[in-house]
Amino acid sequence: MSLITMSQKELNRLEAIQKIRDSRLSVVDAARLLNISRSQVHRLLQAYDRNGAAGFASGKRGRPSNRRHSDELRNAVLDLVRERYHDFGPTLAREKLIELHQIAVGKETLRQWMTEAGIWKSRRERKQRIFQPRGRRDCFGELIQIDGSHHWWFENRGPKCALLVYIDDATGKLLHLRFALSENTFDYLLATKAYLERWGKPLAFYSDKHGVFRTTHASEMDRTSGLTQFGRALYELNIDIICANTPQAKGRVERANRTLQDRLVKELRLRGINTLEEANAFAPEFIADFNVRFGKEPRNPKDMHRPLAVHENLDGAMCRKEVRTVSQALTLRYAKVIFILDPTDYAKTLPRQKVIVCDYPDGRLEIMHEGTLLPYRTFDTLRSVHRAPVVENKRLDDILSIVADMQEGREQKRRQRGPSRAGQKDHMFGIPDGSVSNGYQKRGRKPGRRTDFTNDPEVNAKRQKALARIAACD
């Protein structure tokens, strides 16, 4: 037998036995070295004398296992997998074989069978997707990549928040930064409004598939019906938005996020900045320094930013717009609130008409019909059952913090509303020591008949007087 086919354990034993035969090692020392008994050493010596080095190899080597499945079962299983479970993984295919066909095969055994038959490929054998580099755009303002980076920007000095990043594809320069609690429509509208006021309108924004930028309920009949509020605002200003299919496609802003998570975090630490307001005030200074260090000159010096047209209203576009129908009573509902239009001559002509509710990021709310502003007043807040919210993955941190605050508020109300339970002995009345219930004392209520069983002296005195009056009447 070749020494290459022997295991390391067998090679060690062969070396020790050869040393014994050459009188360089005793049997006792060999037993101690190999951690076996002296009898086992003598058996190895006999095997070496009979067969040489081949006497140390296991006799089972090269033979099929006694627990090996038959070829008939293997072929039957592979036929079933090819016919019914060709696109199943080994784990799921094994479950179905046991559940539907009563065939029990080990998961790893089935994996080896499927791999040898070419039905399944391991992760190492699967081809990794290739992302070839894309050249920069030629002109400044031709394509602006935007993204939100969730990170502990203030480390342990402040809350985890999102940084909205606007970076030019041609030059790699940061054009705007805004710190916000999360990636939401209002903060993107505010950031984009500030960007447009500073630089003008680019040809297009390049983003990911976040719910702020892309909706899954697009309509083929009307282009605007399938747009998000952010997409609708850009459409009104004649700016296009392109959604990347993979993070690698917008690698410029992704790499910038990684750089910012290193450099910007340390700059905020050195300056002792702990709040969103302070960070947003520091952002322009950081942007200027960043662009000097990492900015590139575009291949074409032309600036593709366009000024706002005369008919374009930036403030009117950068808001949330919802369509509502006016009732016969000149009312409409928005955000769980009933609004009543003032009964002007113009408003009286609007029942069953569509109006637009403009909800601005700064908290203002306007109701308009064909460009005419309608005065209104708030009537009441609608009540609704609390339902589980549908949340984007990137907003989960913000929603969980809101949920925690809501739960803490509810717990405080319940503690204030309910009787004290500390040291309670009488579970029927919430009375820890037999005195009058704390719940009754808080509400100013008089104790009922059941408080006659208390040990309070004042209550017992009243009880004795009442019993005396009853006895006198009898």
Rounded Cα distance between 267 and 273, Å, is 9
pTM: 0.61
What angle, rounded to 10 degrees, do the helices at 8-21 and 27-34 form?
Answer: 170
Residue 191 has a pLDDT of 95
Structure-token pair, residue 61:
């080597």
Residue 447 has a pLDDT of 46
How crowded is residue 271: how many other Cβ atoms within 10 Å of its Cβ?
Answer: 13
Rounded Cα distance between 6 and 163, Å, is 60
- What amino acid is encoded at 472 in this protein? A
Q: What is the pLDDT along the chain (474 residues), one digit of tens a residue?
A: 455 567 788 888 888 888 888 888 898 998 888 888 989 889 888 888 888 877 777 767 767 777 788 889 999 999 999 999 988 889 999 999 999 999 999 999 999 999 988 888 877 777 777 777 788 899 999 999 999 999 999 999 998 999 999 999 999 999 999 999 989 999 999 999 999 999 999 999 999 988 888 876 655 544 445 688 999 999 999 999 998 888 888 888 999 999 999 999 999 999 999 999 999 999 999 999 999 999 999 999 999 999 998 889 999 999 999 999 999 999 999 988 999 999 999 999 999 999 999 999 988 999 999 989 999 999 877 665 556 666 666 666 666 777 777 777 777 777 766 554 444 444 433 444 444 444 434 444 444 444 444 455 665 665 666 656 555 554
What CATH number is given for 139-303 in this structure? 3.30.420.10
